[in-house]
Amino acid sequence: MSPARHERIDMAVFGPLPGFARAAVRLRGIDATRGAAPAAALCRRAAAAAAAAPPPTGALWAAAYEVVGLPADTLPPHVALDAWARAPGGVPTQGPLLDLVHATALRHGVPAAAYDLAAVTGDLWLRPARGVELFAPPGAAPDAAPINELILADGADRVMARAWHGAQSADTRVGPGATEVLVHFDLLAEGEEAPAEAAAALAASFAQLATGFVGGAADVRVLTRAAPQAAWPA
């Protein structure tokens, strides 16, 4: 990993949404195949618990999407994951690390994503698209993200995620060969207060969980309006 890598969130997000916080966990030196059976079991238990509880409304996130210009039909990832948990068969296993991400997202009711950093160049930036960044969807040719859509882009103007955190690029998906992964959990609070303490606790809890299953080391960062940029150590 480059020693100069930073991650930041644009004021186009924090301006209208001061109550947003991103919990970020970078995992290094992991074995993404380790602990498959217990991780899958943990995800199944989380999915069963979510299916037994009232479904999330997604109203807070729908309002947030509206103020940053996303389409009205944009589905928050945690709402989609909850619907998956309620479907026949529940949430299928996608490998130990993603199973842990899904279990955590289901337990806390927050959007989450995991990115293989081997496919990422330079710094990361959650910002409006300029119309030149390329997004590679699964099974299709890369195409430019629409101008002003909120995207997560890297230093080479490649789109890691479109629609904030709604659609992940195929090349950053975490597979069995991944050794360095970045995991995001997004939290919202109404009004001016960002849930920084809750984000820090969630990130620390997930870091401990993940390293217990897949090994390696973890670094934790929380990005808020007061601290919109973070540096990752080499």
**Mean pLDDT by groups of 10 residues along the chain of 234 residues:** 76 95 97 97 97 93 96 94 95 97 97 96 96 91 93 96 95 96 95 87 98 98 96 87
User: For residue 71, is it within any domain?
Assistant: yes
**Contact at 8 Å (CB) between 205 and 183?**
no
CATH of the domain at 32: 3.50.40.10
User: For residue 30, is it within any domain?
Assistant: yes
User: For residue 122, is it within any domain?
Assistant: yes
Please give, one letter per residue, the 3-state secondary structure of 109-167.
CCCEEEEEHHHCCCCEEEEECCCCCEECCCCCCCEECCCCCEEEECCCCEEEEECCCCE
User: For residue 230, is it within any domain?
Assistant: no
User: For residue 233, is it within any domain?
Assistant: no
User: For residue 232, is it within any domain?
Assistant: no
What pLDDT, on a 0 to 100 scale, did the predictor assign at position 223? 97
Range of the domain at 122: 6-225
CA 126 to each of CA 35, 67, 120, 157, 189: distance values in angstroms, whole numbers, following the listed order: 32, 15, 14, 11, 19
What pLDDT, on a 0 to 100 scale, did the predictor assign at position 31? 98
User: For residue 125, is it within any domain?
Assistant: yes
User: For residue 29, is it within any domain?
Assistant: yes
Number of domains in the chain: 1
